[in-house]
Amino acid sequence: MISSAKKLCLLLVLSMGAGSALANSYADAIRSFNDAGESAEYFKSAYGYAVFPSIGKAGMGIGAAHGQGRVFVGTRHVGNSSMTQLTMGIQLGGQVYSQIIFFEHEQAFKDFTTGNFEFSAQATAVAITAGASAEANTGGGVAAGVSGGRNDARTVHAGYRKGMAVFTIAKGGLMFEAALGGQKFTYQPL
């Protein structure tokens, strides 16, 4: 039986993600990352990337996040992906953000597109706007960016970790969180 706290988290995530997904296109999200500080450089050298225009996240003790994305090799759309995350720990609130995962080489792309890829609890993203939290990259190193709300943050980033580099752009909401949990991705080729 689902507790009322879990139902509230699920309802928040679904309502945030649904409204935001309609208002934002993949092209807008790609343009935002391309215009944003250091992440723009990755478009020039990456084998491919997965972009999620709107991920809704909410939590009250137990948290959840969900978003739909597209996977590209170069500029060619080769498949679709979904991201789901469940977390447990000290957390309260909700937020919506965009996320992009760059693949350094073909092997990283293959690792992601196996059908059920998962980042560990320590693996999250480099925040590239003010309002997004400072988080760890996929290798566990810490990096953060602050830009006063613009998409021009400077980041301290060690580059790719295990063939992937992850960036987020906060779109709205407020969330206090000290939680553990990994993002799980599915992949469906076109």
> Helix-strand-coil percent breakdown of the chain, rounded to 5?
25, 50, 30
Is pLDDT larger for residue 17 or for residue 74?
74
Position with higher pLDDT, 168 vs 134:
168
Alpha helix (H) ranges present in the chain? Answer: 4-23, 26-34, 39-45, 106-112
Give me the phi and psi of 169, to 5 degrees please.
Answer: -125, 120
Q: Which residue has the higher pLDDT, 141 or 107?
A: 107
Asked whether the beta carbons of 71 and 79 are under 8 A apart, the reply is: yes
Among 93-102, 115-124, 160-169, 175-184, name the one with the lowest average pLDDT: 175-184
For residue 144, pLDDT beyond 50: no
Q: Are 158 and 141 in contact (CB under 8 A)?
A: yes
Q: Given a cut of 50, is residue 53 above it in pLDDT? A: yes
At 12, list the tokens.
């928040």
d(CA 108, CA 110): 5
Q: What is the pLDDT of residues 153-173, one digit of tens each?
A: 333 345 888 899 988 888 887
Indicate if the pLDDT at residue 18 is higher than 50.
Answer: no
Residue 121 pLDDT grade (very low, low, confident, very high; cuts 50, 70, 90): low
- Please name every residue paired with 90 in a beta bridge, in sequence order, or none if there are none: 178
pLDDT of 61 strictly over 50: yes
Higher pLDDT, 159 or 20: 159
Residues in a beta bridge with 48: 73, 103
Mean pLDDT confidence for 117-144: 51
- At residue 16, φ and ψ (nearest 5 deg) are -70, -45
